[in-house]
Structure 1
Amino acid sequence: MGARGILYILLLACAVPALAAPAQTSEDASRLFAEHCAACHGADRLGAIGPALLPENLGRLRKAEAEKIIVSGRPATQMPGVGDKLTAEQVKALADYIYTPLASVPAWGMAEIAASRVVNVDPASLPDRPQWSADPLNLFTVVETGDHHVTILDGDTNTALARFQSRFALHGGAKYSPDGRFVYLASRDGWISKYDLYTLQIVAEIRVGVNTRNVAVSHDGRFLMAGNMLPHTLVALDARDLTPLQVIPVEGDLKATSRVSAVYTAPPRASFVVALKDIPEIWEIPYADDAGPVMNGFVHSYEKGLEEGIGTGGRFQALRIRSPDILDDFFFDRTYERVMGASRDGAKGLVVDLDIKRKVAEIDLPGMPHLGSGIIFRKDGRDHMATPHLKEAVISVIDMTTWKTVKRIPTLGPGFFMRGHETSPYAWIDVSMGKDKDAIQIIDLDSLEIVRTLRPAPGKTTAHAEFDRWGKTVLISVMEGDGALIVFDAKTLEECARLPMKRPVGKYNVFNKINYSSGTSH
C-alpha cells in the first residue's frame, strides 16, 4: 500500500448520519460528498483546505484500504474513524466516488495559480547568514510521510534543526537553490513550497496544478519549472517569490496532450528537459537570457527534418524532439548531451542525443529499469552507470561509451533506489519491491559483486540510501509508521545511530544535490 495516497483519504468524512441499507447510487455518493466533504476538498474534488480526491492523487492506495481508513481513521492524523456514523454501503459508495475519474481534465490556469499564491515572508527581509550553528551544506531534508512532516537534519551531528508540517504527499524529491539556502518541495496535490534553511521557515507557497509530478530548479537559481499530471501543463515560476511566469500546455501533434512524467535541469545546457508519459517526444526548454526561441519551437522528426512551427508563446519555448517510443524515466551522462530513457514496454532503453536530436543507441534493459535512481561511476577509465529494476531482481551496469550492458548483478529482489558517492567504493541498493523488503545490499564497484547484505530492521521495509556531504556516513530509511533513519559508517558498514521518525521516505543532502553528485538522483 502506498502511503502517498493514504493521507488524501484522511479528511474525507465529517459527521455523516447513517442511512438505510439499500445500495447507494452515484447520485447518493455525489450528494454525500457535497454535503460532508466538499467544504474541505472542494465541490469539484480538486481540493481546498483538504487535498484533491481523484484517482490520480490517490497513488497506490487500493480502494479496499481506503474504505478501512474511512471506517477506522488513521493514527497521528486529523481524521478519526467514522465507522459508527456511516453504513457499509455509504463507505463503499464514497470510496467508489472518489476513485471515479473526472469527465474531463480540470482547468487550472494562470488565474487559479496566481490566486493560490501565499507569501509568508518578504524574501528581501531575510538575513544573509544561517541563524544556527552547523554546516549549511551538510544538511538533509527528510520527508516523513507518516504524519506529513519534514525534518531538517544536521548531517554532522545527526540532530534535527527543525521539523515542520508539510503539504500532503510530498513527491518528486527536494530541490535546492544553487547556494543550498532554499529548498523547494512539490506535493502530489500541486503545491510548491519554498523553505528557507537559514531561518527555518516557509517563505512562500503556490498551487501549480491539481496533480503535480515534480519541480526542477534552474542552475542559476532564477526559475522553477513544475510538471503536472493534471492538467497537462508545465508551469514556470520566479524562484524568488514563486510568482507564476508562464503556463505551457503540453501538446503534441493534432493537439494530443500528455501528462508530464518528470522535469529535469540540464546545467551545461541552461535548459529544462521534460519526460512525457503519453506522447513519443522529449521536450527541451532553455532558460538562459540569450537563448531566444528554440528554433522557433520547431519539431524535429527523424524522417522529415523540420516541420511546422509550434512556438508556445511567452518567455519559455519548447523544442519537441521526436522519440521512437514513449520514454517515462530519464538518466543523463555527465555532459547532459545524451539522455537515457526507459521505454514504455519495459524491455529496453534508448539513448537520445540532445544536440543532434535523434536516437543514437538502444540498451538491453528488460525488467523496467528505474533510471531516475541510477548512478555514474568510473571503472577502467570509463564512465559506467548502474540502475535497479522495478520488476526484476537485478542491477544492470552499462558502459556509457559503448552503451553495452557489461554486467547484470543478481539481487534479492527488485529495487527502487541506488546510491553511491565520489569518495566511496560502494553502491547501496534496496530490494524493497520484493519479499526481502528489509534488506539493503552493498556492491563493490570495482569487482561488481555484492559484498554485504544488511537487515537493520528485520521484517520492515528498508530503502533509500543517501550519503552525507563527505561520503563518511550513509542514511537509510525504515519506511514504517514508527520508522527510523539508520546512520551507517560508509567504510566499516556498521550502524552508528538510529533516529525515530514517522515513515521517512526520501532524504536529500544539500551538498550532493547542488553539486549534482554522480552518486545521487538529480
Structure 2
Amino acid sequence: MIKTMWAVCALSIIAAGAALADDTASLYKQHCSECHGVTRLGGMGPALLPENLGRLRKKEALEVIRTGRAATQMAGFAEVLNTDQIAALADYIYQPPAETPTWTMADIEASHEILMPLSDLPDKPLHSSDPLNLFAVVEAGDHHVTILDGDAFLPLWRFPSRFALHGGAKYSPDGRFMYLGSRDGWVSKYDLHSFNIVAEIRAGINMRNIAVSGDGRYVMAANYLPHTLVLLNASDLSPIKTIDVVSKDGKSSRVSAVYTAPPRNSFIAALKDIPEIWEIDYSDNPRPVARGVVHSWTPGHEEGEFDFGPFPVRKVVLKDYLDDFFFDQTYEHVVGAARDGKSGQVVNLDAGRKIADIDLAGMPHLGSGITFDYKGHAVLATPHLKGGVVSVIDMQTWKTIKKIETLGPGFFMRSHDNTPYAWVDVFSGPDKDALHVIDKRTLEIVKTIRPQPGTTAAHVEFDRYGKHALISVWDMDGALVVYDAKTLKEVKRLPMKKPVGKYNVYNKITYEAGTSH
C-alpha cells in the first residue's frame, strides 16, 4: 500500500515537472523565440545556451528578463510575466540542449552557392546614379534592403534579405560589391552595378558581424556560435579557413566583433568571454607570430615556436574584457570597453598592451563613437551605455575634455568631415524620439530634433559630401528622414519598415571619420 502511494506520488511529481517544462517552453516560444530563435540558437538576439552565457550569472539573467538591457532591443517583461515565470525562463536558458549544435567546415562548404558568376556581370553600372553615393538601407521590419540614390534620395532596388540581418553593410574597396551578414550566420554578396546577388554561404549558426579586408580579397565572419572566426574568399565567398577561438589555457569564446585595419593589413577581433584582442594578418608576407606569446614580434627573434604560415593570429591579453571598440584614425589604437565595465581602455596595437584607462563606463554599441578635430586636438566622442551623457576625450592625453548632458542614453553618434555638427540619438527612455545636434566647435547642443514623436529615432548617416543627414524612424510604420546638414531642416521623408541602419558607399570605403568602420 505504502509503495503504491509512493509510486503515485512519484508519478504525480514527474507529471507536474513535465507540465512545468512544457509551460516554460511555451513561455519561451511566445516571448523569446522571435529574437533568440525557437531552438535558442540565436536570431536578432544572441544564442541562449549555457556555453554562451558564461559572463551572465543567473541572478543577472533574472534582472535582464525582468527589466531589459540598456542600449539594446531587449525589453523587460516585469509587467507581462510573474516572478515564477521569469525564474522558470532563467532556468530554461541555462539548460543544455538535447544535442550540442555544431557547424563544421563541411557544413560551411555545403551551404556555399554561386548565384551569378563574376564573368556574367556587366563592366559598367546599369543605372545612372553615382555608384559611390548609394546607400544600403536595412529594413528590419519586413527583412528587406533598399538601395537608395544618395543624390535624389530615390529607391533603386529593394530585395528580401536573410532573416535577422545585421545592419552593418560592408563594401569592396572600389564600392562595387556589397556584403551583408545575418545574425543566423549567412554571408551574402551583391553587385551594385547590376543589382544582382552574386553568392551566399552560411559561416555559422549565430553570427555577430563581418568585415572586408582593406585589399578587398577576404571576408571574415565573427561568430557567437560556434566559437569561431571564418575566413572567406571575397570574390565568390568560398571558405578558406576556420579559426577556433580558444585562449592559451583552453577556454573558448564568442567573438564580439571583427573589423578590418587597412594600414595594418589585418583583421582585429574582440572576444566576448576571454579578455583578449586578436589580430589576424592577411598580407601576402605576414610577420611570424609566436604561439602563446602575446607581445609584438621582433625581427631576429625567431628561435621559439612561431607560426610562419598565412593568416597567423596574434593574441593581445588584457586585464578586462573588450566587448565594444573602435579605432583611432591611424589604426594604432583600439578604444573600447566592456558592456558591464566601470571604465574604458586604450590598447596600443603596436605595443600589444593597454596604455590608458578612460572615463567611460561602457560603450553602448560597436562603433558608436566618432573622432574629429577640436581646437587642434584629435578627440573622440561617444555616448555612454547608461545615462544621458556624451563624453569628449582628448586622444593624446586620453583625458575627458567635456561631458555633454543629453536626454538619455544614446546608441549611435555620427558626423562628417564636411559638417560642423555631430548628431547623437537618445535610444532609450521617454525621449527616445529625440536626436541632439552638437556643434563640434563649441561642444554644445544647438538643436534637438524629433522626426516622429512617440517613436524611436536613431542611426544618423551622411551622404558622401556631408550635405545631408539621414535619420531612421525605428517603427513598422517608420521612415527614412532626410535633413539638410547645414540648415537642419527636413527635406524629404521616405516611408520604410523599421529602417534600422543605412550605409553610404563612399563614407564606408574611405573610412570617413564621422561614421563606423
- Tell me the TM-score normalized by structure 1: 0.82
Percent of residue pairs bearing the same amino acid type: 61
- In 1: Cα distance, 2:146 partner to 2:353 partner: 42
The superposition leaves residues 17-38 of structure 1 with CA deviations (integer Å, 9 ceiling, x where unpaired) of xxxx99735479989x9xxxxx
Residues 8-157 of structure 1: pairs in structure 2 closer than 5 A: 24=19, 26=21, 54-55=47-48, 60=73, 102=97, 106-157=101-152
Residues 309-458 of structure 1: pairs in structure 2 closer than 5 A: 309=305, 311=307, 315-366=310-361, 368-370=363-365, 372-458=367-453
- In 1: Cα distance, 2:110 partner to 2:44 partner: 17
The DSSP-based 3-state class of the residue aligned with 1:335 is: coil
Aligned length: 471
- In 2: Cα distance, 1:364 partner to 1:245 partner: 40
The DSSP-based 3-state class of the residue aligned with 1:463 is: strand
Shift of 1:294: 2.7
Aligned amino acid, residue 124 of structure 2: R
- In 1: Cα distance, 2:428 partner to 2:209 partner: 22
Residue 227 in structure 1 maps to residue 222 in structure 2: yes
The DSSP-based 3-state class of the residue aligned with 2:119 is: helix
Shift of 1:253: 2.6
The DSSP-based 3-state class of the residue aligned with 1:471 is: coil
Aligned pair in 2 of structure 1 residues 53, 316: CA closer, same or farther (>3 Å)?
A: closer
Residue 192 in structure 1 maps to residue 184 in structure 2: no
Aligned pair in 2 of structure 1 residues 306, 397: CA closer, same or farther (>3 Å)?
A: farther
Aligned pair in 2 of structure 1 residues 257, 421: CA closer, same or farther (>3 Å)?
A: same
Shift of 1:97: 7.2
Structure 2 stretches lacking a partner, 5+ long = 1-15, 29-35, 53-64, 66-71, 82-87
- In 1: Cα distance, 2:152 partner to 2:24 partner: 52
The DSSP-based 3-state class of the residue aligned with 2:323 is: strand
In structure 1, the residue matched to 2:494 is 499
- In 2: Cα distance, 1:224 partner to 1:29 partner: 40
Aligned pair in 2 of structure 1 residues 52, 101: CA closer, same or farther (>3 Å)?
A: farther
Task: Tell me, yes or no, if the aligned pair for 2:44 and 2:164 is still in contact at 8 Å.
Answer: no
- In 1: Cα distance, 2:462 partner to 2:437 partner: 13
In structure 2, the residue matched to 1:300 is 295
- In 1: Cα distance, 2:243 partner to 2:442 partner: 47
The DSSP-based 3-state class of the residue aligned with 1:124 is: helix
Task: Tell me, yes or no, if the aligned pair for 2:105 and 2:242 is still in contact at 8 Å.
Answer: yes
Task: Tell me, yes or no, if the aligned pair for 1:463 and 1:479 is still in contact at 8 Å.
Answer: yes
In structure 1, the residue matched to 2:468 is 473
Residue 211 in structure 1 maps to residue 206 in structure 2: yes
Aligned amino acid, residue 431 of structure 1: V
- In 2: Cα distance, 1:62 partner to 1:457 partner: 21
The DSSP-based 3-state class of the residue aligned with 1:129 is: coil
In structure 1, the residue matched to 2:170 is 175
Shift of 1:104: 7.2
The superposition leaves residues 144-179 of structure 1 with CA deviations (integer Å, 9 ceiling, x where unpaired) of 000000000001011111000001111151111000
- In 2: Cα distance, 1:290 partner to 1:306 partner: 15
- In 2: Cα distance, 1:326 partner to 1:98 partner: 23
Residue 484 in structure 1 maps to residue 493 in structure 2: no
Cα RMSD after superposing both structures: 3.6
The superposition leaves residues 352-411 of structure 1 with CA deviations (integer Å, 9 ceiling, x where unpaired) of 111111111111113545462111111121211100112110100010011110000000
- In 2: Cα distance, 1:380 partner to 1:315 partner: 43
Task: Tell me, yes or no, if the aligned pair for 1:468 and 1:474 is still in contact at 8 Å.
Answer: yes
- In 2: Cα distance, 1:25 partner to 1:300 partner: 52
- In 2: Cα distance, 1:190 partner to 1:207 partner: 5
Task: Tell me, yes or no, if the aligned pair for 1:413 and 1:431 is still in contact at 8 Å.
Answer: yes
Shift of 1:412: 0.6
In structure 1, the residue matched to 2:69 is none
Task: Tell me, yes or no, if the aligned pair for 2:47 and 2:225 is still in contact at 8 Å.
Answer: no
Aligned pair in 2 of structure 1 residues 367, 475: CA closer, same or farther (>3 Å)?
A: same
The superposition leaves residues 30-54 of structure 1 with CA deviations (integer Å, 9 ceiling, x where unpaired) of 89x9xxxxxxx9997769xx99995
Aligned amino acid, residue 330 of structure 1: F
Shift of 1:291: 1.2
Task: Tell me, yes or no, if the aligned pair for 1:343 and 1:350 is still in contact at 8 Å.
Answer: no
- In 1: Cα distance, 2:124 partner to 2:184 partner: 32
Of residues 414-423 and 362-371 in structure 1, the stretch that sits farther from structure 2 once superposed is: 362-371
Of residues 96-105 and 249-258 in structure 1, the stretch that sits farther from structure 2 once superposed is: 96-105
Residue among 483, 487, 505 paired with 1:510: 505
Aligned pair in 2 of structure 1 residues 461, 306: CA closer, same or farther (>3 Å)?
A: farther
Shift of 1:477: 0.3
In structure 2, the residue matched to 1:165 is 160
In structure 1, the residue matched to 2:514 is 519
- In 1: Cα distance, 2:192 partner to 2:275 partner: 39
Aligned pair in 2 of structure 1 residues 445, 52: CA closer, same or farther (>3 Å)?
A: closer
Shift of 1:63: 9.4
Of residues 287-296 and 353-362 in structure 1, the stretch that sits farther from structure 2 once superposed is: 287-296
Aligned pair in 2 of structure 1 residues 293, 94: CA closer, same or farther (>3 Å)?
A: same
Residue 266 in structure 1 maps to residue 261 in structure 2: yes
Task: Tell me, yes or no, if the aligned pair for 1:54 and 1:98 is still in contact at 8 Å.
Answer: no
